[in-house]
Amino acid sequence: MSLTLTPARRRTAAAVLTAALLVPLAACGNDDSKDDSGKKPAGAAAPKADLMVLAAASLTDVFKAAGAAYEKENPGTKVDFSFGGSQQLAAQVKQGAPADALVTADTKTMDGLKADTGKPSVIAKNRLVIAVGEGNPKKVAELKDLSDSKLKVVLAAPEVPVGRYSEQILDDQKIDVKPVSQELDVRSVLSKVELGEADAGLVYKTDAAAAPKRVDAVKIPDGRNAIASYPAATLKTSKHTEAANAFVKWLSTPAAQKILKDAGFEKP
């Protein structure tokens, strides 16, 4: 038996078929977290994760503030930090430490980890000052004063970024300094001056600014100073790659840059 469709029935059948075909398409388009390219919109919140970030010791104070700000912007995400000398952090990365991102105080250390990181981006810059006791009791006025044998000077070890920068500016000025100790990170140098175990030490200006009631900072002229760059990168061993990438990218946003600027860091 043959079935003949009237024009009206043909139109009804076509409408039903069209609607059936459109349903799965509509379902595919209901993911509000993605745009037409399949990517999340620029303003979308970062993926939730517990992140561990290895960061240079000179970032100790500012990153605590930055981490709190990031967590506030991204509920459900927690950012923990492990601070230390950049050379120590690099060794941890090589040993497979469970971490998600790395921020060093120099590009040389980061460049040595190309096989272990994503593409780094510089998030801030810094420069050195001479840290002295409050009130500058030894009257240190300039770099050449550090060569005085009666002055107890502490520096970071040459393998530490700030130690390398210190060595660079002293060699450029042909200033011979015999430190009473060489520390493994910049905060240890600062601590020696704070405790009175050293009369002076070379640190980043942001470190001296973090202890205004315990140390004073003697400026070093730009032409005789060194500029430190801070690159940040995601670690390839991260178990939260997307979340780690989001945090690293956030460090270059206006919100993060303001926090860094307020702490005395300079634009990248």
118, 235: one domain: yes
121, 161: one domain: no
Residue found by looking up tokens 């970071």 in the block:
156
Tell me, yes or no, whether 37 lies in a domain.
no
pLDDT of residue 48: 87
pLDDT of residue 212: 86
pLDDT of residue 46: 74
CATH classification of the domain holding 60: 3.40.190.10
The domain in which residue 212 lies consists of 127-227
138, 119: one domain: no
173, 240: one domain: no
175, 198: one domain: yes
Chain-centroid distance of CA 220 in Å reads 25
215, 251: one domain: no
pLDDT of residue 15: 43
- Whole-structure pTM value: 0.81
85, 212: one domain: no
- Give how far Cα 121 sits from Cα of 48, 112, 117, 153, 169, Å: 23, 15, 11, 34, 25
pLDDT of residue 16: 39
Query: Could you report how far apart the first and last alpha carbons of the chain are, in Å?
Result: 81
Tell me, yes or no, whether 220 lies in a domain.
yes
pLDDT of residue 44: 55
Q: Structurally, how many domains does the chain consist of?
A: 2
The mean pLDDT values, 10 residues at a time, for the chain of 268 residues are 44 42 38 39 68 97 97 96 96 96 97 97 98 97 97 97 97 97 96 96 96 94 96 97 97 98 96
135, 184: one domain: yes
